[in-house]
Chains A and B, each alone.
Chain A
Amino acid sequence: GAGVSQSPSNKVTEKGKDVELRCDPISGHTALYWYRQRLGQGLEFLIYFQGNSAPDKSGLPSDRFSAERTGESVSTLTIQRTQQEDSAVYLCASSLLQGNTIYFGEGSWLTVV
């Protein structure tokens, strides 16, 4: 596809359930990022993948959060035992090289009820 694709675009889940969010980066982009944006707030860095290097997980807020990436393609962000404070837009982005433009997907809106 032409851009970063995320699914689902909207997800409503019950507190305590697990959710999986998917990101398809732009083809050929080696770097992939996950960010979280709570309502009315800025972007919070979660995790970063670059090629075959170990991912930078320094932004993951708790051990309920994890992410995987298959090679230089799809990534999934998993939130276990969701809490209401997990409600946010989860944004995925990708880029080609260091210093290059980072392209964002439309985001996955997660609501935990």
Chain B
Amino acid sequence: AQSVTQLGSHVSVSEGALVLLRCNYSSSVPPYLFWYVQYPNQGLQLLLKYTTGATLVKGINGFEAEFKKSETSFHLTKPSAHMSDAAEYFCAVSDLNTDKLIFGTGTRLQVFP
């Protein structure tokens, strides 16, 4: 069965600092991997996704993630945090055999001035 683990339920960074949100997955077949963001009092929106091809994926708002099969990871990064990045971030996995998207428990990102 597929699963997703997000290390760190809360991450705090200073404005301008590197953002690193960790995600590890478990899947018996090649995975499809997603990062979603949920801003306060808003719905979820897609940041980026990996299905096939290039393992470094660029998304909206300057975020990117790299699929590393050997580490079963899909960590989300942004070189320089902005105050507007404060939100809840969810990593999710599905695969070719199922459309069911399994989510991690989320990481709340706080950005301090």
Q: In the complex, what distance in Å separates the CA atom of A93 from the CA atom of B10?
A: 26
Q: In the complex, what distance in Å separates the CA atom of A48 from the CA atom of B96?
A: 15
Minimum distance in angstroms from B101 CB to a CB of chain A: 6
Interface string of A75-95 (1 = CB under 8 A from B): 000000000000000010101
Interface of B is mostly: strand
Q: How large is the interface on A (under 10, 10 to 19, 20 to 34, 35 or more residues)?
A: 20 to 34
Taking CB atoms, residues of chain B closer than 8 Å to A67 are none
Interface string of B32-55 (1 = CB under 8 A from A): 101010000011111001010000
How many A-B pairs have beta carbons closer than 8 Å: the answer is 53
- B32's nearest neighbour on chain A, judged by CB, is A99
Contact of A101 among B43, B46, B103, B106 (CB under 8 A): B46
Taking CB atoms, residues of chain A closer than 8 Å to B46 are 101-103
- A35's nearest neighbour on chain B, judged by CB, is B103
Q: In the complex, what distance in Å separates the CA atom of A105 from the CA atom of B43?
A: 6
Minimum distance in angstroms from B14 CB to a CB of chain A: 24
Given contacts A48-B99, A104-B43, A107-B43, 5 further A-B contacts (CB under 8 A): A33-B99, A33-B101, A45-B100, A45-B101, A99-B51
A-B contact pairs, 25 of them (CB 8 A): A31-B99, A35-B103, A41-B105, A42-B103, A42-B104, A42-B106, A43-B44, A43-B90, A43-B92, A43-B103, A45-B101, A56-B98, A93-B44, A93-B101, A95-B99, A98-B99, A99-B32, A99-B94, A99-B96, A101-B49, A102-B34, A104-B36, A104-B43, A104-B45, A107-B43
